[in-house]
Chains A and B, each alone.
Chain A
Amino acid sequence: MFKYLLGFILLFLTCAIYSHLVWAEDNITAGEIINTMTQTMNPEQSEAKMKMTIMTTSGEERSFLYHTYSKGRGKKTLMKYLEPSRVKGQTILMLNDGDDIWIYFPKRNHVRKLASHARRQKLEGSDFSYEDMGGSNTFVEKYESVLLEDEKKEGHQCYKLKLTRKPESDAGYSRIIVWVDKKTFVPIVIDYYHDKDPELREKQLICTDIELIDGIYTPMKFTMYNKLDDTKTTMEIIEINYNVDLPDALFTEEGMKQ
């Protein structure tokens, strides 16, 4: 009798825990997932060494090595090219969520302010745009998100979300489908659909090699496939450090020249 009672209690407890987990999972909203994902992908401060490989318009691959510094969840970003020699020391400063951009050309010792910059434009030659990574809270502010059926993607158990552009929004894509890893809240795959043709998948981002660095889950490799131009861009993090205290002076004209 005691055995049966114990078995019953254990079964009850298991069901309760399981239903709690299920309930907890079901209870999470699309907005919360997107918020958490955006925060994960845009940490407060970071310093990294990265490698970016782009495909040029004549179909050749070109790689760049650079240092990047970011502060205020991506509000201020500084990119300093290390390689190849042609662009060594060339620095890009992006402020106000990428609305203001300056470029420093060390060989001519000249800083040029780029008058305007749309978030949807290509990020310095890559297939990425500022908006693609949900910078400046774009995914939350400019899209309506709906949680779809969970799916396994690239070996990860994921939340699947459909983001539809809000009617009044100036966002660059008509809709976005995101698969967010349930454990790390890192986007595993993002499909971007064309501004004018909601059926046309314009780009696809795949994030891989997720590592826990300074307590933050970080995909070490991003590959963006441009389905229209048949090009791809990869960004690989070689080193990254989140425990940094970046001075504001770094994100200035003088900081660019350092």
Chain B
Amino acid sequence: MKERLLRQWARFVATHPWWVLAFMFVLIIFSVIFASDLRMDMLWSDMLPSGDPMAQEFERIIKEFKSTSTILIVIQGEEAAIKKFADEIAPEIEELEAYIERVDYKLDKEFFGRHGFMLTDIEDLRNTTDMFNDLNLVPLLNNINNNFEKEYVGNDQALDTRTKEDEAARALDGLYYWLKTMDTFINTPAGANHALIDSMVERFLYGDPYFISYDKKTLLLSCKPTFSSIDIEKDIAATRAIEEKIEQIQDKYPMVRAGITGVIPLQKYEMEYTEKTMFLSSIIALLLVIILFIISFRMWSAPILAGLNLVIAIIITAGIVELTIGRLNMMTSIFAVILIGLGIDYAIHLISVYNERRNIDSDQRQAMEETFARSGSGIITGALTTAAAFFALAISSTRGIKEMGIVLGIGICCAMVTSLAALPAILIVRERWIFRVKKKTVKPKVSEFHFLGNIGQNIVKHRALYIIGGVVITGILLYQAFNLKFNYNMMSLEPDIPVIHLQDTIIKAFEMSPDFAMVTASSIEESWKLEQKAKAMPALSIVEGIGDVCPPESVQRLRQPYVKALREKIGKNNKIAPLEVNSLKKLITQLKRLDLNIYELAQLAYIGGQDKIDEKCKLIIGDPEQEDAQGLIMELIEAIQDKPVLAVRQLNKFQKYYYPVLKKKLFDMANPELITLDALPERIKERYVNERGDNFLVTIYARKQVWDFTVLDRFTKQLELVSPRATGTPPMFLHLINLIGKDGLWATILTLIVVLLLLWIDFRSLRLALLGMIPLISGGIVMMGIMKSFGMLLDFINVMGIPMIVGIGIDDGVHVIHRYKYEGFDKTRDVLRSTGKAILLTSLTTMVGFGALSFGSYPAYRSLGTLLTVGVAACFVMTVLFIPGIISLFRRKK
């Protein structure tokens, strides 16, 4: 029945090729019209199940808040140079108004200067209150010493956590700058001016205004784009524009290194790298496939015909996908590439047998009929089992996998239909055209693959040996396969490019991963609670939220009395008490006390392994490891003792300069007015509040490289403790992996069942159906065993190749068994010489296509290419090794 229908169809195509082609043309026109509306949804959230709360929350945040992605400029070099570089480049970048909304790299001094103390916690306010009783130099130093002893030296809890260590390092930095300025006033009076004092006071009060690492060697500029990171064209344009600006300025600073990182430039570089890898791989694959076709078919036009057939299949698939799903996602966007790898097989089977038959049969019609009779069933069963394997993925809850299954299932069916309709019609038309031009029938030349026939014969002869050998090898590799490890480090799959290296630089310098998670709150109070919770979590690093700039009223009211008291105290500082030569002794006493405090702090930090503090202390007191080390304080004391008169004069000048500035800034900072949302500058507000003003964004960064699976897992678990609503690219990615893991297992089981049922129906024999499954199962085991034996790992990318192997691997067995059924089960030599040749060619083209990916320098594609190449080769070898042997074993028993 099936054969009769196939013969009828072959006869129709051979006699009416133009009708078939006309129908295909109409189909293509409609498909192009539909496919032009096909949407590309390229967000991670588009891969999660529809209605997934995490994906919905992510999409809502992206819509409501502008600040969900950033471009980071990393500047490295000496402190002064990188700060100058940053000051010069920031306005230049802000000029790129089409792409950049604003650049953040410094503390908002104006806002902090007006509300600083209302943003300080009560514990620190208590300590600060006493520190500014008297702003004159000697009492101020005395209070700093008191504070030091109370805060750091006297309380080793003060340095226990990394946050506290950072705070201590910042305080020491301010103090260093203060002492350095004193030193400038005494030793280089020419450099002593108001600007220096301004900068000193700011640094003393606010810390370093730049977003700079503790060692002052790395500075970060955060550029907020005007567009979403999914707009790939703008990603590319903005990255290029910023890089041009960096290059222009870089010339002036030969000792400074600057680069760009973040999701936006990463997307640009990943795309460029992918294009480069794909281009190189495609060229290599194309050349190798053409060579293979020419050697096997001795026919220049064979690759063109097969390619044309695939283009038709891809266009029709795109049209149907638009009508059924309406979009492509991150996974389905590469359906065309996969279809080329899989769909070309049907063309090979058809061309291979047709060429053979053309040399045997008298006319085209008969040759086509015989071709369909021999390979038609194999193509249909092979395609339907592959399509079924893909359609089985539709049970997945994740949209990414579900849609991938449906799109590829449709694609395979389309490739099957075009291979049985368009391709034979094209073959007939081509031959007629050649006949018209050359005025004679040109029969295709056929390369015989006799060696395959011989191998088949040998296997049949020594079947027991081959079967036992195959089972033993599979068994050994099964053991290896069980020990195959998974590579959880996603960054190792990224190409070796500066954008990736700079992410590591940021993690090292700032202890934060540039990728972040987000959670929203409906009130300032709720946001504050979330921020506090997140800050207490050990895997979470920087937490940004509205509480940083506008704490809840209840918190502000608790701080208010301290801030008021502080303001009163500062206000009472009215009199500058000039220093006299005889009061220098008190000053020196305080300086010596300060030196001792910092020495002890340095020693505690040294045994505590807190290098940041130790390094800062060394700047002030010298290196304690050197016996004769002379620190800044001791030099200052020496200078004062050497030239007391000059020192008094200069220190009075120093005091006269800083006193009013310090007092004013302190007074302004101690503003007890409540900070309200309305009073926040727009520039600050938009970071945390949506346009309606009813939703507040909390941004949470991981402490370590978030794309390391263990870190990601820990980060996500702790985020869940902060809020079950937390979202963002890293937690969504983990969520997706978990869902895929769950779905993948069921989809694989279902696929195997569906494939077995289809084979059973097709062969009408359970025994043959099971036989068809053997090459797939043993091939899969061998593939994983070889991977383990060669030190390869499974990863998040190459694991996606496994369902493809199921689809590809089943084909070889199906085609061989079909041919056996047609030719007879004793015709091993004929089956392997003809169908064996076809499956060898399909395997080789697939291996070449995917194997070419291994030549690229993109580790992710390399790993996928390697897995597929090994898998396809293994399935072919297992088909040739097991099927003839087992068939002949059964025959002998019968």
Contacts and interface: CB of A to CB of B under 8 A. Distances in A.
B523 interface: no
A121 B157 contact: yes
A54 B718 CA distance: 27
A199 B539 CA distance: 13
Contacts of B624: 86, 107
A152 interface: no
A196 B537 contact: yes
Given A112-B600, A114-B155, A57 B537 contact: no
B609 A85 contact: no
A125 B607 contact: yes
Contacts of A64: 607
A228 B539 contact: yes
A112 B154 contact: yes
Contacts of B155: 114-116
B611 A103 contact: no
Given A105-B603, A115-B155, A228-B539, A197 B612 contact: no
Contact of A105 (B160, B539, B600): B600
A55 B153 contact: no
Contact of B608 (A107, A117, A124): A124
A134 B126 CA distance: 35
A202 B538 CA distance: 9
Interface in A31-84: 54-58, 60, 62, 64, 81
B156 A200 contact: no
A101 interface: yes
B233 interface: no
Nearest to B601: A112
B718 A125 contact: no
Contact of A122 (B160, B611, B704, B721): B160
Nearest to A79: B607
Contacts of B603: 86-87, 90, 103, 105
Interface string B149-163: 010011111001010
B714 interface: yes
Contact of A103 (B538, B600, B612): B600
Interface size bracket, B side: 20 to 34
Nearest to B704: A230
A21 interface: no
Contact of B609 (A54, A197, A202): A54
A85 B625 contact: yes
Interface string B762-802: 00000000000000000000000000000000000000000
Interface in B130-162: 150, 153-157, 160, 162
Chain B interface mostly = helix
Contacts of A105: 599-600, 603
B604 interface: yes
A86 B614 CA distance: 12
Contact of B153 (A85, A112, A196): A112
A194 interface: yes
A71 B150 CA distance: 30
B717 A117 contact: no
Contacts of A87: 603, 606-607
A110 interface: yes
Contact of A56 (B157, B611, B704): B611
Contact of A116 (B157, B162, B604, B608): B157
Interface string B504-548: 000000000000000000000000000000001111000000000
A110 B157 contact: no
A97 B624 CA distance: 31
B610 interface: yes
Contact of A121 (B156, B625, B704): B156
A28 B253 CA distance: 73
B442 interface: no
A202 B603 CA distance: 27
A113 B154 CA distance: 7
A108 interface: yes
B130 to A, nearest CB: 16
A200 B610 contact: no
A148 to B, nearest CB: 24
A123 to B, nearest CB: 10
A115 B717 contact: no
Interface in B587-636: 596, 599-600, 603-604, 606-612, 624-625
Contact of A108 (B160, B596, B606): B596
B79 interface: no
Interface size bracket, A side: 35 or more
A197 B599 contact: no
A13 interface: no
Contacts of A90: 603, 607
Nearest to A55: B609
A183 to B, nearest CB: 34
A175 to B, nearest CB: 15
A118 interface: yes
A47 B507 CA distance: 43
A108 B600 contact: yes
Q: Quick one: which of B162, B165, B606, B625 has the most chain A CB within 10 A? A: B606
Contacts of A117: 156-157
Interface in A115-148: 115-118, 121-122, 124-125
A172 B515 CA distance: 30
A137 to B, nearest CB: 22
Interface in B718-734: 718, 721
A87 to B, nearest CB: 6
A86 B160 contact: no
B600 A110 contact: yes
A114 B156 contact: yes
Contacts of B704: 230
A243 to B, nearest CB: 30
A132 to B, nearest CB: 14
A115 B154 contact: yes
Given A58-B611, A108-B600, A197 B154 contact: no
A206 B393 CA distance: 46
B714 A200 contact: yes
A194 B717 CA distance: 13
Contacts of B165: 57
Q: Quick one: which of B609, B624, B721 has the most chain A CB within 10 A? A: B609
Contact of A114 (B154, B607, B717): B154
A55 B609 CA distance: 7
Contacts of B717: 197, 199-200
B610 A57 contact: yes
B619 to A, nearest CB: 16
Nearest to B625: A86
B609 A125 contact: yes
A93 to B, nearest CB: 14
Nearest to B703: A228
Contacts of B600: 103, 105, 108, 110, 112
B536 A118 contact: no
A238 B599 CA distance: 30
B538 to A, nearest CB: 5
A196 B721 contact: yes
Contacts of B718: 197, 200
B531 to A, nearest CB: 15
A121 to B, nearest CB: 5
Contacts of A86: 603, 606, 624-625
A194 B154 CA distance: 27
Which 4 residue pairs across A and B have the least CB separation, nearest first? A125-B608, A56-B609, A58-B611, A115-B154
Given A56-B611, A86-B625, A199-B717, 6 more contacts: A57-B165, A107-B599, A108-B599, A113-B154, A114-B156, A116-B155
26 contacts: A56-B610, A56-B611, A57-B162, A57-B610, A87-B603, A87-B607, A101-B156, A103-B600, A105-B599, A105-B603, A107-B624, A108-B596, A108-B599, A113-B154, A114-B154, A114-B155, A115-B150, A117-B156, A121-B157, A121-B160, A124-B608, A125-B610, A196-B536, A197-B538, A200-B717, A202-B538
Interface of B: 150, 153-157, 160, 162, 165, 536-539, 596, 599-600, 603-604, 606-612, 624-625, 704, 714, 717-718, 721
